[in-house]
A and B are shown apart, each in its own frame.
Chain A
Amino acid sequence: MRDESGSDEAKSELLQGTLDLVVLRVLALGPMHGYGIAQRIQQISRDVLRVNQGSLYPALLRLEQQGWITSEWGTSDNNRRARFYSLTRAGRRQLAAETERWARFSEAIGRLLMA
């Protein structure tokens, strides 16, 4: 009962807790619906990162409850009603803070692994 939608090659699963950061980053490009967010993450990460769709919607709900993103109903490319998420100002601040934290963290891990 595994994901059969994509190819069978190994993909890294998103680190616990980084999904929120990734979603915020993707939404920084502009408002987007849930399916689009999942697609976009895979595109940008060149299919290296796979989003568990089952955890995407809970993440969106969590971010919205935190006040970092907001949603409204709009029309999709194929003229369907869809729910579009966009960043709030608080969300932008959170993204900046998280990005910096992530950079420091990955740099530290990188140094450790290279040492």
Chain B
Amino acid sequence: MRSLRSWVVRLLSLFRKRQLDQRLDEELRFHLEMQARENEARGMSPAAARRAARAALAADGPGWSVESLKEDLRERRGVPALETLGQDLRYALRMMRKSPVFTAVALLSLAFGVGTNCAIFSVVDALLLKTLPVNDSERLVVLKKSARGEPQPLFSYSAWRLLQQAVPVCSGVMAMTADFTAVVRPLAPAAQATPAGAGDARGSSDAIETANAQLVSGNFFPALGAGMAAGRWFTAEEDAVPGGHAVAVISYGYWQRRFGRDPGVVGRALVVNGLPVTVVGVARHGFHGAIADAAPDIFLPVTLREAVKFQGGIESDGPDLPGLSIFEQVHQHWLVLLARRQPGVSVARASAALNVLFQRDKEARFASAGPLGRQELMSQTLVLEPAARGLSHGRGSLTQPLLLLMAVAGLVLLIACGNLANLLLARADRRRKEMALRLGIGAGRGRLLRQLLTESLLLAGLGGALGVACAGWGSRLLLGLASRTDEPIPLDVDLDWRKLAFALGVALATGIGFGLAPALQATRVDLASSLKEGAGAIGAGAGAGGGSRRGAGGRLGRALVAGQIGLSLLLLIGAGLLVRSLQNLMGVDSGVARDGLVLAWVNPRLLGYDDDRLVALYTRLVERLETLPGVRSASLCNERLLSGSSWDENVVLPGYTPRPDEDTDTELRVVTPRYFETVGLPLVAGRAFGPRDRQGAPKVAIVDEAMARRFWPHLAAGGAAARVLGQRFGFGPPGNSRNLEIVGVVRNARAIRLRAEPAPTAYLPVAQRPGVLRDLEVRVAGGGGAAGQPPAGLVASLRQAIAEVEPKLPVFSVITMDEQIARSLARERAVARLTAFFGLLALSLAAIGLYGVMSYSVARRTNEIGLRMALGAPRGQVVGLVMRDTVLLIAAGVAAGLAAASATLRLAASQLFGLSAYDPETLAAATLALVAVALAAGFLPARRAADTDPMVALRHD
């Protein structure tokens, strides 16, 4: 209380400054007069009496003078920091204007440092830290099923319906799917027609309009508690009947982008994957659903799953029940469930209540599950995980690289701060006399410190503001670089108070970080020696035994430079490791022949064909494409090479019962006959698929060597893959174990991602396992076009040929395999490029720092050097003298850097490929590069020292 009161009094006194100052003067004047009068009465002369009175008043006070007593009282009276801030700021601005080069260098390096850190933080924040922009996001949980490994997030539609009854503990159990790309055609009235000239999308081959769609439940929006910009959300009734209500809500962004925020869009129709739907509302600005790094344009009811030909996967844990739709199948899991706990309901209580309902879903599945499935079901429970930050696609794979980049950017900022600190140290050194004078006439050390810190904080603040201005651009660049598609990762990185707070924190920390030590240094002045300085310089140098004259400032500067060298070595090594990992990844043999392979996405699902028609379409497509000039062969497959996505199913073998914890899942690729020829995957034994492997013929499969070794190790041992030919296996329940006969063995391929070892894979002919194949592969003669682009003529003729066969089949991007590999490594490339950039930047910053410190030291030792030369020291000896210092600095830095590297680099091991974190070549190369650059930076001042003219030097003050 008391101290609060005293602060109020102090604050109020700010507003009466002048009046209070006058009163203080008057009070002290009164005191002095009274004392002088008494002293006179004791017989002193009037002058002596006044002098004695002043001395008495100042005695034992701060600073031994009446003025400093006044200053002290003024400071105690008010809030000194505030009061002097204006004064300090004005002074700081004047200092900045006086040294424009220093100011520009400082501002630019700070802007860059704060900007990069803020840019990376924005992405980290959006992906890892920020909660969803919905009400009470901390009450959101995501529902999962316990499983052998990670809990499984997918549920059947009927399970969702059951769990929805948990009203007492949850204000809503919401269902959603992953977002997916849909072909969109506006069924628009004339006013909103497609742009002139675009015409019918079908005619012009490129003009497919797509949008990002997501299926969500009717209670999704109200349960997340967000508002609408226009219209209404679809109701729970509208997602009750499968295919019953063709309605949609569009996002604010899509509304803005596609419809120019036309309020008339509500009530209008859109055609999504061929289904006309009515737009009933526009979600409010900023709402993007519950996936942090997805930006759906169109929200549709989950009951439209079949009608809009949803392309997401189904996880199945039991047989299809005949005659039932996907909405009634209890073993088909495809919905992600989120729940919002009622206020005051703990996760444990919500979990208990939901598990009671989940029991009924388990019972429903138990009846039709196989023995294995039953065993798993017994132990299955519902697990609730907090979902305040929402779900995400990239959190798993982006977290490590992002944190790595964050650390790297932080280190670069640290190195830049080192340079600024050194510049300030040098400046402080030049201002020693000024400081000594100010301390001498009674300025408090705290007061001077405050002013010096104001200068550096002002620099940091301005640099930080510049940095923030560029941060948004940097974040978007990063999101583009790290994306595996043509679109940047859709994360919301717009500036908000969190990023501002972060940038402010970084700027403050840097301001204090690089400003404090020099300021302390500058104000720790030995008055007498500083004021006398100059005259005694030679004496001091000689007195120190002829060695270099290093003040405390010199020592600190050297320590800073050694630290900078160490940090930049650490960054260089890290960058080297990542760049070499990327090279290793690019050079790794994926197993397929990348040259001359062109890929296209198609989506036959949108045609709505049955299996027979699909298979017939594939045959016609391949036949037509193979007639194109330059095309050697063509094929289709259910998964694209190196797309990161996989389709695995559980393998069963005759007479083999897997251990309870054994994972028999195997990659499954469904292909058209000439797939192996097209992608260049060599056959090791047996035959490829052919026309005879049709529906009704004996079912056949081709396996890769990895699968042969995995399931028939006794036969395939020693590379005798041919011996697995004729073996039988199957997918699914044990009864299927003799379904398929192996007719061929192909080489392994890194088909999912380059980083992963080839997974055991089985290939089936599409004729015997009909379904939607979305990836089209074409092998062309004589390699691809320039720079990873498919030959332009080929793209046009491909589209033309496909349109001839099936005009309604949408063809998405056409790219080369090289491009596909590049995309699959986008993240690794982004991280390698950025760290390499930061590493080189760190190296040059450290070199500049070293150069600066050595130059300054040479300049300060001009007298000494001049004296030595006058006494006959040869040039070489002078160079050696300075270089000895440089070499010591570099050695200390390199030792520190190597120590730091050995302590930290193993943390980045998960980002490396094909080499260890202690790769000796990389360590040696980085160290050599650093030492070479640092020696060069140190040699320039040494040579300049040797050029010293002794006569000029000795006259130097």
Contact = CB atoms under 8 A, between A and B. Distances in A.
Interface in A31-80: 33-35, 52-55, 57-58, 61-62, 64-67, 73, 76, 80
Interface in B43-64: 52-53, 55-62, 64
Nearest to A57: B73
A4 B39 CA distance: 9
Interface string A9-39: 0000000000000000000000001110000
A3 B26 contact: no
B76 A54 contact: no
Contacts of A62: 76
Interface stretch (B2-10, B371-379, B754-762): B2-10
Contact of A67 (B5, B34, B58, B64): B5
Contacts of A2: 59
B377 to A, nearest CB: 74
Interface in A79-110: 80-83
A3 B2 contact: no
A76 B33 CA distance: 12
A115 interface: no
Classify chain A's interface size.
20 to 34
Interface in B918-944: none
Contacts of A113: none
Contacts of A61: 73, 76-77
Interface in B1-37: 2, 5-6, 9-10, 23, 26-28, 30-31, 33-35
Contacts of B2: 66-67
Contacts of B35: 5, 35, 53
Contacts of B39: 5
Contacts of B64: 1
A98 B131 CA distance: 55
Size band of the B side of the interface? 20 to 34
Chain B interface main SS type: helix
Contacts of A33: 27, 30-31
B72 interface: yes
B56 A81 contact: no
A2 B73 CA distance: 21
Contacts of A57: 27-28, 69, 73
A72 to B, nearest CB: 11
B34 A53 contact: no
B9 A4 contact: no
B239 to A, nearest CB: 68
A55 B62 CA distance: 9
Contacts of B58: 54
Contacts of B69: 54, 57
A99 to B, nearest CB: 19
Given A33-B30, A35-B30, A54-B61, A3 B56 contact: yes
Nearest to A76: B30
A66 B57 contact: no
Contacts of B5: 65-67
B440 to A, nearest CB: 15
B380 to A, nearest CB: 69
Contacts of A53: 31, 35, 56-57, 59, 61
Q: Which of A1, A53, A73, A81 has the most CB of B within 10 A?
A: A53
B441 to A, nearest CB: 16
Given A35-B30, A57-B69, A65 B59 contact: no
Q: Identify the interface centre among A2, A4, A64: most chain B CB within 10 Å of its CB.
A: A4
B27 A83 contact: yes
A38 to B, nearest CB: 8
B59 A52 contact: yes
Given A1-B64, A5-B39, A58 B76 contact: yes
Contacts of A52: 59-61
Contacts of A4: 52, 55-56
A81 B26 contact: yes
Contact of B61 (A34, A55, A67): A55
Nearest to B52: A4
B28 A1 contact: no
Interface of A: 1-5, 33-35, 52-55, 57-58, 61-62, 64-67, 73, 76, 80-83
Given A1-B55, A57-B28, A61-B76, 11 more contacts: A3-B59, A5-B39, A35-B31, A35-B35, A52-B59, A54-B57, A57-B73, A58-B72, A61-B73, A61-B77, A67-B6
11 contacts: A3-B59, A34-B27, A35-B30, A35-B31, A35-B34, A57-B27, A57-B73, A61-B77, A65-B10, A66-B2, A67-B5
List the 7 closest A-B pairs by CB distance, nearest first. A54-B61, A52-B60, A65-B6, A35-B34, A35-B31, A54-B60, A5-B56
